[in-house]
Chains A and B, each alone.
Chain A
């Protein structure tokens, strides 16, 4: 018997990442996500060219705000990460991972990174295509507006990381209702609080990310919402992401995930 030494955290995380990536690429969720992103991009491009008086810059900004920050940035990470643990437990395939000498932290991290990388890739690609298509006939703003789009991309990636961690967390602690609980959390804490007036809006990381992207405040009585410095979203979203990841990983590490019979 020549059993190899157990893989280190990095190697184990990479192996889980590759496995999860491969499964996502072949699954229906990625295709569904790509279709939804494409629909949003196409809708914005149609809006841009259908109205002769439309200002391309404004159409792009509204498209980013409504299409990405109000819809896709919730939906895509949710699709690709909420079932990462829960679906494996329910399908009884989690046992193949849990019985390997990889440590459950690596399982959580590998799955999280694969889901977030794919979600972020989809959204960034969507934003890029939308930007190019919007300014296709006007080369000057194509470059002038690029920094704004890049900021939006950065904010979207940050939110992907956070929402991926939130969905992983709920998937780990509430495996049988991972989707519902994740959706409720995102709907109430992130979406609903993001529209409230005053300081309540700071509960929503989505709102902070829109400020990082330089988008208008929107929501109810935006005039009552204090302005934020650029560092505030970063200082809030990054620790929140780490917090949800750590608690999610701890839940995976401690849980028995017993779906077997006696």
Chain B
């Protein structure tokens, strides 16, 4: 009997020489769409490559559909991988490339070609499939990689930054395909560093930073955390103290500071409202605003906040809202406060 699609990691660590890419990651994913969210260099790609059977864990274990995936054909036949790198066989046509991948998945040549054509059509590449990949645009290349990842109808899809370099039309096509695959019973895990991309297809997310899963839950919970963690807006203008006084009245603004003589930095829990009011105040108060910047992209700031918080609270029992869930205590369902345990902190 075929095991249901799943990915289970237990205390998974992976390091390259002295660089730790993943540390003590434990999780269990089942059918559905999962967003793997994290800043660049956080370990997303390493996790996906471990799940895709390209990398061996340095410590711990990862199982895909109950199998260790490294160089394991039983696991690999169920996996579809769309790697992040923009690397393809440029001297082949899209159809030749995807057909070859289908053949390598076990289809006879005629069926492989047929399936490849269908997969390329599904990603809107029907007119370009006879052209060499070297002449494709970035978005077309991305869709070709996605087509090869689904050509064998896998029930575990690992997509590494699948929306990178795509235009809105391509995004729509790709996200539709992701939804369709999940509806058909697949487990789709896709990585991104943009929260908005996740929200359009799922509300289940894993947040990964510095090689650790620092939070997991639903998107609205992440949003709540974002709101809980103040967002910073730096305004360079002619009268920063007057601007600070005006903005302190705004609901959501929780603090001000003056990083330089000609600028003010606002800390807010409601960035949208603050940006809106800021524009109005600038006009009303006749401020000469030179620039408005955010020193912390909010998500990046959240990752830092979560990593620091989890290491600060490790072992106190107070870090229940964040953190990957370990070994025996693991609960498959994602619930806020899902029982994080002590973890080696790597925060600075």
Partner of B107, one of A4, A261, A262: A4
B92 touches A22 (CB 8 A): yes
Chain A neighbourhood of B148, CB < 8 A? 96
Q: Check B89–A256 contact: CB distance below 8 A.
A: no
Interface membership of A140, Cβ < 8 A: no
What residue in chain A is nearest B21 (Cβ atoms)?
A262
Say yes or no: is B103 at the interface (Cβ < 8 Å to chain A). yes
Q: A3-B152, A97-B104 are in contact. Are A257 and B54 (CB under 8 A)?
A: yes
| Minimum CB–CB distance for A97 against chain B, Å | 7
Contact among A4, A97, A262 with B19 in the assembled complex (CB-CB below 8 Å): A262
8 pairs from A and B in contact (CB 8 Å cutoff) = A3-B153, A5-B77, A15-B104, A22-B100, A26-B91, A96-B148, A101-B74, A101-B105
CB contacts (< 8 Å) of B41 on chain A: these are 261-262
> Bound complex: CA of A101 vs CA of B77, how far in Å?
5
| A225 shortest CB reach to chain B, Å | 45
Chain A residues within an 8 Å CB radius of B185: 1
Nearest-neighbour CB distance to chain A for B9, whole angstroms, equals: 16
Query: Is B83's CB under 8 angstroms from A100's CB?
Result: no
- Interface check A27, CB cutoff 8 A: yes
A107 and B16 CA atoms in complex are apart in Å by: 25
B120 within 8 A of A: no
Q: Bin chain A's interface residue count.
A: 35 or more
Give the residues in chain B near A6, CB-CB below 8 Å: 73-74, 76-77, 105-106
Nearest B residue to A262 via CB reads B21
Known A-B contacts A19-B100, A101-B105; A262 and B211 likewise in contact (beta carbons under 8 Å): yes
Residues of chain B lying within 8 A (CB to CB) of residue A1: 153-155, 184-186
In the bound assembly, the distance between CA atoms of A99 and B72 in angstroms comes to 9
Q: Are A102 and B73 in contact (CB under 8 A)?
A: yes
Are A101 and B73 within 8 A (Cβ)? yes
Q: How far is the CB of A96 from chain B (nearest CB, A)?
A: 6
Task: Assess the A99–B54 pair: CB atoms within 8 A.
Answer: yes
Is A7's CB under 8 angstroms from B153's CB? no
For residue B142, CB closer than 8 A to chain A, the reply is no
* Inter-chain contacts of B43 with A (CB < 8 A): 262
Residues of B within 8 A of A (CB): 16, 19, 21-22, 41, 43, 45-46, 49, 52-56, 71, 73-74, 76-79, 81, 83-85, 87-89, 91-92, 96, 100-101, 103-107, 148, 152-155, 184-186, 211
Residues of A within 8 A of B46 (CB): 260-262
Main secondary structure, interface of B, reads loop
Q: How far is the CB of B272 from chain A (nearest CB, A)?
A: 33
Residues of A within 8 A of B (CB): 1-7, 11-12, 15-16, 18-19, 22-23, 26-27, 91-93, 95-104, 253, 256-258, 260-262
B104 close to A12 (CB less than 8 A): yes
4 closest pairs, A vs B, by CB? A262-B21, A101-B77, A4-B106, A92-B87
Which listed residue, B81, B100, B154, B155, touches A95 by the CB 8 Å rule? B81
A2, B106: Cβ atoms closer than 8 Å: no
Query: Chain A interface secondary structure, helix, strand, loop or mixed?
Result: loop
B88: contacting residue among A18, A22, A93, A100, CB under 8 A: A93
A97 and B211 alpha carbons, distance in the complex (Å): 26
CB pair B105–A104 under 8 Å, yes or no, is no
Q: Which residue of B lies closest to A19 (CB)?
A: B100
**Nearest Cβ in chain B — how far from A262, in angstroms?**
4
Residues from chain A with a CB closer than 8 A to the CB of B84 are 260
Q: Interface centre among A2, A92, A97, A100, by most B CB within 10 Å? A: A100
- Tell me the nearest residue of chain A to B111, going by C-beta: A4
Q: Are B104 and A261 in contact (CB under 8 A)?
A: no
- A7 and B54 contact, Cβ closer than 8 Å, known pairs A23-B92, A26-B91: no
- CB–CB B78/A258 < 8 A: no
- Residues of A contacting B79 in the complex (Cβ-Cβ under 8 angstroms): 99
B77 touching A95, Cβ below 8 Å: no
Distance in angstroms between the alpha carbons of A95 and B158 in the assembled complex:
13
Partner of B76, one of A5, A99, A260, A261: A99
Contact A260 B85 (CB under 8 A): yes
Interchain nearest-CB distance for A72 vs B (Å) = 25
**CB-CB under 8 A for A23 and B91, given A3-B152, A5-B106, A18-B100:** yes
Contacts of A258 in B (CB 8 A): 16, 49, 54-55
Given A93-B87, A257-B54, A262-B43, A7 contacting B106 (CB threshold 8 A): yes
- A70 CB to nearest B CB, Å: 32
Whether the pair B100, A98 counts as a contact (CB closer than 8 A) is no
CB-based contact B88/A99 at 8 Å: no
Q: In the complex, how many angstroms separate the beta carbon of A34 from the nearest chain B beta carbon?
A: 17
Q: Are B78 and A3 in contact (CB under 8 A)?
A: yes
The answer to whether residues A99 and B77 also contact, given A1-B153, A15-B104 and a CB cut-off of 8 A, is: no
Q: 6 additional contacts, CB 8 Å, given A93-B87, A99-B83?
A: A4-B107, A6-B106, A95-B49, A99-B53, A101-B73, A261-B46
CB of A15 within 8 A of CB of B54, answer no
Closest to B152 in A: A3
Q: Please indicate the chain B residues that have their CB under 8 angstroms from the CB of A27 in the complex.
A: 91
Across the two chains, which residue of chain B brings its CB closest to A252? B71
A260 touches B106 (CB 8 A): no
The minimal Cβ–Cβ distance linking A255 to chain B, given in whole angstroms, is 10
Q: Are B74 and A99 in contact (CB under 8 A)?
A: no
Chain A residue, CB-CB nearest to B103: A15
Flag if B56 contacts A4 (CB, 8 Å): no
Q: How far is the CA of A256 from the CA of B71 in the complex (A)?
A: 9
For residue B77, which residues in chain A have a CB less than 8 angstroms away from its CB? 3-6, 101
Q: Which residue of B lies closest to A1 (CB)?
A: B155
Residue of B nearest to A107 (CB): B104
Q: Considering only CB atoms, which chain B residue lies closest to A90 in the complex?
A: B87
